[in-house]
Chains A and B, each alone.
Chain A
């Protein structure tokens, strides 16, 4: 609650929006009018025309509101875990590179550079083509293209921490090098990396949406990207079928950015 009082209005708006979205995701089975993949009624029903389908139905008669609510689940799940994986992997690689130095540093940084040179979206696409679409493979594929930033930021931080007195103290205490790297240095180097969290979550949401839009998502799950792609086939007759899930995407990404900006301006989180 102390955190809430320190947040600026921007950050509060983001926090409230995200909490609402998380609630929508959690309660989807309770509040959704029905199964998002079931043929629920007359196809191509306009929004607000029927009480049982408040946002209308798509080309096949699937309920749009249900799709939107269940889509929140996929979006938040994939985004949260992709960001977590990419930040953990990135900070581990960055810590190793910065702490070990020498050849290990050169090799790890060349690998990081190589990953940065190939567009992250292309990497995700290639990975999905190898593993096939599912939630875990989607998380893996997205992290593949997004961990490099965390690696670079952590490495820079570790380099500046490496020569500090507390590291020398840990050495005299007889801690093993890897123990020093991960138990002493990494927690101290994590601050700047954590500030990448909002950017990572937002990037993951957009990559997931784009992959699903292109039809490389899990066919057994509703996602906003796949809803946009589905609506696109009837873009002339029913543009709202693509526009509504897109608006949900914009609101989600915007609230992540707002919260991220709010948090980065909170003094408490600055190390």
Chain B
């Protein structure tokens, strides 16, 4: 079997039990909620009498035991059916698929910004540990690391959208602008600037610190002395040897932070009124839509697993030892 295919198969084999645990755990957690889908339906759409409620419970399978419902849910899930959203009156899968691309775009841009700018600044700080530039960047990153993304979003809105009026206050694109093609892409990009910045800053600080700390360790490594002795230019040592070795832990962290970033998008999307997956999670909770919430939990687990898979593939490209070990 080609190595890549066996790699994917092995990852799939280890992902399935994890997804199983997520499914059972999520089901049990939401089973503990007081009130069922019929109660929340009645609360929203007005009065039904007791007989109608009982009828609806039979129709939705709620009069059966939890084990029966779990089996029904799991067997529908295997066929790709995530159930029916009571809040949106549409299939859960459809609602989630509608919302997911925006969030993936937001997360992708934020990850790219945090990774490139964070590791670039990390290289600047780590090129000369202890220098003034290093100290300024280290203190700055510590402060940045303490800022909650949603609050940063509000501050950015006050500055760039309310006072300066440079950027839109929220949304993902101008509503009914009639734009298409490149103009629409530009419109979306302008709307993404502030949310991406609010989501990315914490991770930017994290990657900066990681890169800088790792680089200052590598400087003490004898191989750097050997390079210096061979008269290799400092700039080349910094970029080709020290930074290149230091970037590996940052890439590992990229995968570990995928789940945290997805969680962060819940609040950032709420601040900027972006109709994405994160805001869907908050809406599912606020509107007591249990099937939707379970679907959101499952899909976020799948997203995180795929993100980690991509990071591992990138890692293999960067580190020859991993490639050989596979």
Contacts and interface: CB of A to CB of B under 8 A. Distances in A.
A250 B18 contact: no
Given A129-B33, A216-B285, A117 B162 contact: no
Contacts of B266: 119, 121-122, 125, 210, 214
A246 B304 contact: no
A258 B145 CA distance: 11
Interface in A211-239: 213-216, 228, 232, 235-236, 239
A216 B150 CA distance: 15
Contact of A257 (B18, B145, B162, B267): B145
A126 B285 contact: yes
Contacts of B18: 110, 113-114, 117
Interface in B132-175: 142-143, 145-148, 150-151, 154-155, 157-158, 162
A242 B151 contact: yes
Contacts of A114: 18-19, 21-22, 25, 301
Interface in B224-269: 259-260, 262-264, 266-267
Contacts of A261: 142
B47 interface: no
A254 B162 CA distance: 28
A118 interface: yes
A206 interface: yes
B29 interface: yes
Interface string B35-59: 0000000000000000000000000
Contacts of B17: 110
A121 B32 contact: no
A111 B21 contact: yes
B121 interface: no
Interface residues of A, number: 45
A249 B148 contact: yes
A59 to B, nearest CB: 15
B285 to A, nearest CB: 4
A113 B29 CA distance: 17
A69 interface: no
Residue of A125, A246, A254 with most chain B CB atoms under a 10 A cut-off: A125
Given A122-B297, A261-B142, 20 more contacts: A110-B18, A111-B25, A120-B260, A121-B263, A122-B262, A126-B297, A130-B33, A202-B146, A214-B267, A228-B150, A228-B151, A232-B154, A246-B151, A246-B155, A250-B151, A251-B146, A253-B147, A253-B148, A254-B143, A257-B142
Interface of A: 110-111, 113-123, 125-131, 145, 202, 206, 209-210, 213-216, 228, 232, 235-236, 239, 242-243, 246, 249-251, 253-254, 257-258, 261
Interface of B: 17-19, 21-22, 25-26, 29-30, 32-33, 142-143, 145-148, 150-151, 154-155, 157-158, 162, 259-260, 262-264, 266-267, 270-271, 281-282, 285-286, 288, 293, 296-297, 300-301, 304-305
